[in-house]
Chain A
Amino acid sequence: MNYHEKEMRVIYALTLNELIARNPNVLCLEADLSKADATIHEVSTKNPRNFINCGVQEANMVGVAAGLAREGKIPFCATFTAFATRRAYDQITISVAYANNNVKIVGNSPGITQGPNGGTHMCFQDLAIMRAMPNMHVYSPADANELRAVMFHMADHHQPTYMQLVRPKMPKLFDENCRFDPLSAVRLHEGSDVTLVSTGFMTRFALDAARELSAEGLRVDLLHYPSVKPFDAQALIESARRTGAVVTVENQSIIGGLGSAACEVLSEQHPVRVKRLGIPDRFGEVADQEYLFDKHGFGPKHIAKACRELARATT
């Protein structure tokens, strides 16, 4: 199957069916957004016993998932990022992470990809708040093949986990048999002039910027982090030692997410200049991607500009 011809949300649903075929304890929990998550067509029809629609009850969905997990089930609970994380934050903290129950929380349409739903639905802080939770892993895959690898890993490991799920089609970045290791960043472009750090939705744009800069003779070391927590500190330190400058980019607030994770590591272990790109301390709004990239300054051209400036400043 050419997974990249399908929307990421469809890959999510198809992969759940694969996981259920391997292990019938895998369950698909929804909170009345199974159409948005594409599971209503794929999972509820093919595996109706594994499909549990809780209604618009995010808090209860997480609690029910904790009870299911306690009995050996592997529940994947999906809804929009805002409701998956900040709305059910205490339930995830206590019933899932603190209790170490094997629940998977899936946040559909992260950051600005919530475009038409606007500020009430745009969650810019899910990486930050989920990363701040002890015992919680935080993943953000960048393409369909990586999404499948991440989901297989989630199903096979007893580990409370939050995963961002980008909804639309994404260009192919990884091979079909790509591996996912939460302890390892992935180098997508090699260089020694500036380090570029990205995750999830932004990695394709970071790679575009790295290729554009390569044509100009600026060599970008692009590290993609499918796992924001745990965070592969060694890869970043090793890269920063060679480049001396780091740009981070994420489809999130610059407070608390990937950029903050990078700064925590660098400031303590190898201080270099850093520029964080993402949404400044603002709420979302109804707007399309280009508008929001330009407004907040974290699209491909802004990434390239920041890389040029930092590389220049450190040479």
Chain B
Amino acid sequence: MVEQQQVSREQLDALAREFRYVVTDAICRSGSGHIGGVMSLVEIVITLYYRVMRLRPDDPSWPERDRLVLSKGHAGPIVYTALAYKGFFPKAWLATVNQNGTRLPSHMDQILTPGVEMTAGSLGQGLSAACGMALAAKLDGKRHRVFCIIGDGESDEGQIWEAAMFAGHRQLDNLTAICDYNKMQIDGTTREVLDLEPLADKWRAFGWEVFEIDGHDWDAIYDTLARADAVTGKPAMILAHTIKGKGNRETENLVDCHNVKVPDEATYGRIMCGLECKMDLPY
């Protein structure tokens, strides 16, 4: 499949529920994982993979495909879920997230996982790589888009701002970045630890077109990705206001849901019960 099909609002809602259920189970099976920053990206990742990005699951290196770099590599499992559902690899792989010998490690690995464009996990590096991929497309006269998801905590890294300056200077208008602005980082709120504000002004000052949206609003995500595509002469940054741990009563209410420990069946049961639904697992 090349062109994305029409997906109804009901189908999107159902996908989001299913993705949250599956990815939570997959992470919990391994005993711990980055549930918070995975749940905040569900609507964004589904929109990219089901409505926006041009991909060929049976040909992961199709030259004309759109690229996604998940710079906040610890949210890998939500991209793995999308890749499995789109057919890049069997859904059964999802049961192996973070297990010994897995091809789906906690952080993104371009060598291990079909459909993963760039290894990431040491924060701040993915946006630079996305700049390189966008620059390569410019050099080769190619029309595909490069997307990059960064974290808000990750934006503390100096390299993010090196890449921001580089992309602005090089006018990489084939690059769309999305900041998962869930306002939480490992040690507390972004405001407490290292305040990012005024974040939109910062990106504008670096030469980017900036959009601010509710990162769980289907229409806002889709429409803004389209508007970002129409920007010429500069890269686009979408500041997506999100909720860390979104869609799970247990994790939404945790002060620290960055890396949730699931040491026993009781904890597993409590976290799965926090989800809106219960369903059969596809593996």
- Asked if A68 and B133 make an inter-chain contact with CB atoms under 8 angstroms apart, the answer reads yes
Q: How many A-B residue pairs have CB under 8 A?
A: 102
Given contacts A49-B139, A55-B165, A99-B111, contact A71 B133 (CB under 8 A): yes
B122 within 8 Å of A by Cβ?
yes
Given contacts A60-B159, A66-B118, A99-B110, contact A71 B166 (CB under 8 A): no
Of A60, A67, A75, A91, the contact of B133 (CB 8 Å cutoff): A67
Of B19-27, B34-42, B123-131, B251-259, the one with at least 4 CB within 8 A of chain A: B123-131
B162 within 8 Å of A by Cβ?
yes
CA distance A81 to B120 in the complex (A): 25
- Asked if B119 and A67 make an inter-chain contact with CB atoms under 8 angstroms apart, the answer reads no
Q: Assign chain B's interface to a size class.
A: 20 to 34
- Asked if B128 and A63 make an inter-chain contact with CB atoms under 8 angstroms apart, the answer reads yes
B136 within 8 Å of A by Cβ?
yes
Q: Assign chain A's interface to a size class.
A: 20 to 34
- Asked if B125 and A68 make an inter-chain contact with CB atoms under 8 angstroms apart, the answer reads no
Contacts of A59 in B (CB 8 A): 124-125, 128, 158-159, 162
- Asked if A94 and B125 make an inter-chain contact with CB atoms under 8 angstroms apart, the answer reads yes
- Asked if A67 and B118 make an inter-chain contact with CB atoms under 8 angstroms apart, the answer reads yes
Of B122, B158, B166, the contact of A94 (CB 8 Å cutoff): B122
**Complex interface residues of chain B between 142 and 177 (CB less than 8 A to chain A):** 158-159, 162-163, 165-166, 169
A198 to chain B, nearest CB (A): 35
**Complex interface residues of chain A between 59 and 93 (CB less than 8 A to chain B):** 59-60, 62-73, 75, 90-91, 93
CA distance A93 to B69 in the complex (A): 18
CA distance A69 to B119 in the complex (A): 13
CA distance A154 to B109 in the complex (A): 24
Residue ID in chain B nearest A59 by CB atoms: B159
Contacts of A91 in B (CB 8 A): 122, 125, 128, 159
- Asked if A66 and B137 make an inter-chain contact with CB atoms under 8 angstroms apart, the answer reads no
Contacts of A57 in B (CB 8 A): 162, 165-166
Contacts of B129 in A (CB 8 A): 63-64, 66-67, 70, 95
- Asked if A54 and B135 make an inter-chain contact with CB atoms under 8 angstroms apart, the answer reads no
CA distance A55 to B169 in the complex (A): 10
Of A55, A90, A98, A99, the contact of B166 (CB 8 Å cutoff): A55
Of B118, B127, B136, B140, the contact of A99 (CB 8 Å cutoff): B118
- Asked if B119 and A95 make an inter-chain contact with CB atoms under 8 angstroms apart, the answer reads yes
Residue ID in chain A nearest B136 by CB atoms: A71
Q: Chain B 260-279, CB within 8 Å of chain A: the 1/0 string?
A: 00000000000000000000
- Asked if A67 and B166 make an inter-chain contact with CB atoms under 8 angstroms apart, the answer reads no
A52 within 8 Å of B by Cβ?
yes
Residue ID in chain A nearest B140 by CB atoms: A71
CA distance A72 to B140 in the complex (A): 11
Residue ID in chain A nearest B169 by CB atoms: A55
- Asked if A63 and B111 make an inter-chain contact with CB atoms under 8 angstroms apart, the answer reads no
B180 within 8 Å of A by Cβ?
no
B121 within 8 Å of A by Cβ?
yes
Residue ID in chain B nearest A72 by CB atoms: B136
- Asked if A64 and B125 make an inter-chain contact with CB atoms under 8 angstroms apart, the answer reads no
Contacts of A54 in B (CB 8 A): 166
A43 to chain B, nearest CB (A): 15
- Asked if A66 and B159 make an inter-chain contact with CB atoms under 8 angstroms apart, the answer reads no
CA distance A69 to B133 in the complex (A): 8
Of B119, B165, B169, the contact of A98 (CB 8 Å cutoff): B119
- Asked if A70 and B133 make an inter-chain contact with CB atoms under 8 angstroms apart, the answer reads yes
Given contacts A59-B159, A59-B162, A60-B159, contact A90 B122 (CB under 8 A): yes
Contacts of A100 in B (CB 8 A): 111
- Asked if B118 and A64 make an inter-chain contact with CB atoms under 8 angstroms apart, the answer reads no
B117 within 8 Å of A by Cβ?
yes
Given contacts A67-B130, A67-B133, A100-B111, contact A60 B119 (CB under 8 A): no
B132 within 8 Å of A by Cβ?
yes
Given contacts A59-B162, A66-B129, A94-B125, contact A71 B137 (CB under 8 A): yes
- Asked if A95 and B165 make an inter-chain contact with CB atoms under 8 angstroms apart, the answer reads no
Contacts of B69 in A (CB 8 A): 67
Contacts of B124 in A (CB 8 A): 59
**Complex interface residues of chain B between 70 and 121 (CB less than 8 A to chain A):** 109-111, 117-121
- Asked if A67 and B131 make an inter-chain contact with CB atoms under 8 angstroms apart, the answer reads yes
Given contacts A71-B137, A95-B119, A99-B118, contact A66 B162 (CB under 8 A): no
CA distance A66 to B132 in the complex (A): 7
B274 to chain A, nearest CB (A): 33
- Asked if A67 and B132 make an inter-chain contact with CB atoms under 8 angstroms apart, the answer reads yes
CA distance A93 to B128 in the complex (A): 15
**Complex interface residues of chain A between 19 and 53 (CB less than 8 A to chain B):** 49, 52
Residue ID in chain A nearest B163 by CB atoms: A60
- Asked if B125 and A95 make an inter-chain contact with CB atoms under 8 angstroms apart, the answer reads yes
Contacts of A71 in B (CB 8 A): 132-133, 136-137, 140
CA distance A100 to B110 in the complex (A): 9
List residues of A whose CB falls within 8 A of some B CB. 49, 52, 54-55, 57, 59-60, 62-73, 75, 90-91, 93-95, 98-100
12 A/B residue pairs, CB under 8 Å, sorted by A = A52-B135, A59-B125, A60-B163, A60-B166, A63-B159, A64-B135, A67-B128, A68-B135, A71-B133, A95-B122, A95-B125, A98-B119
Q: Which 10 A-B pairs have the closest CB atoms?
A: A67-B132, A63-B128, A71-B136, A99-B119, A60-B162, A67-B129, A64-B132, A67-B133, A68-B132, A57-B162
